[in-house]
Structure 1
Amino acid sequence: MVELASLTDKNVEVRTITGKIYSGKLYTVDPNSFNVCLADARDESGNTYSRVFIYSHAVSEILVKEAILDLKELAERLERIFPHMVKYYEDARVIVVMDRIRVSEKGVEGEGPLAEKVRRIYEEFLAEQKK
């Protein structure tokens, strides 16, 4: 499930079928079994763990505790500035501008004046999302 994998490094809360609740950073998701691993986790009693591994059959729900960046909206904004030069790969959650500037939730990859312009647009977009 691509959507779950895109939550890597996000703060989540995992509730198990036995009622236990773990909060932490989603460290990894096994793409075959959907087992999850949380980093810097805490349980409902306040106990802390460097890693918590939870088997998929024990997961009741996973709640995202932070906003997810709307990359589709950002791609549309970039498309208005760079017409016909923006591709949004929804499954990978990546925007590619002019086949050489890569934009994801982690930032902008690329160098030069055009990459700097994309970076400014990205940072403005992030600031608007936080309001």
Structure 2
Amino acid sequence: MAQRVREVMTPAPVALGALTSVNEAAQRMRDEDIGAVLVRDGAELRGLVTDRDLVVRVLATHKNPDETTVAEACSPELVTASPEDEIGHAVRLMREHTLRRLPVVDNGEAVGMVSLGDLAVERDPSSALGDISASSPNT
């Protein structure tokens, strides 16, 4: 059983510039088959924007996805883990902040993303979430 975040994270997360349009972010999520992208302001991580953020903060409020930036749509607080953190620490962070995805940062650089599904596959692969998360996506 994995003990460190680096053992369960998905490496090389997608990061977009803060001024990237929501429309472009949505297309990137579709093309990469992912549900979240990191938002960068220069070299600094500014936030995380999810497919749900795009729906709730942009589409449901009738904002134009071509004119709204990912910086406007991203979560205001960025909570991260280190690749060397114990998995239990990542679980506590996700519970405490009600997160489904947790960026993994090493020396200020995003190196991975860990999701509830990743943790379910690792900790309880026979659970419904573990089983679903281990399956191939249906497109």
Per the normalisation by structure 1, the TM-score is 0.28
Q: Relative to total residues, which structure has the larger strand share, 1 or 2?
A: 1
Q: Which has the higher contact order (CA 8 A, sep 6+)?
A: 2
Structure number with bigger Rg: 1
Q: Relative to total residues, which structure has the larger helix share, 1 or 2?
A: 2
Per the normalisation by structure 2, the TM-score is 0.27
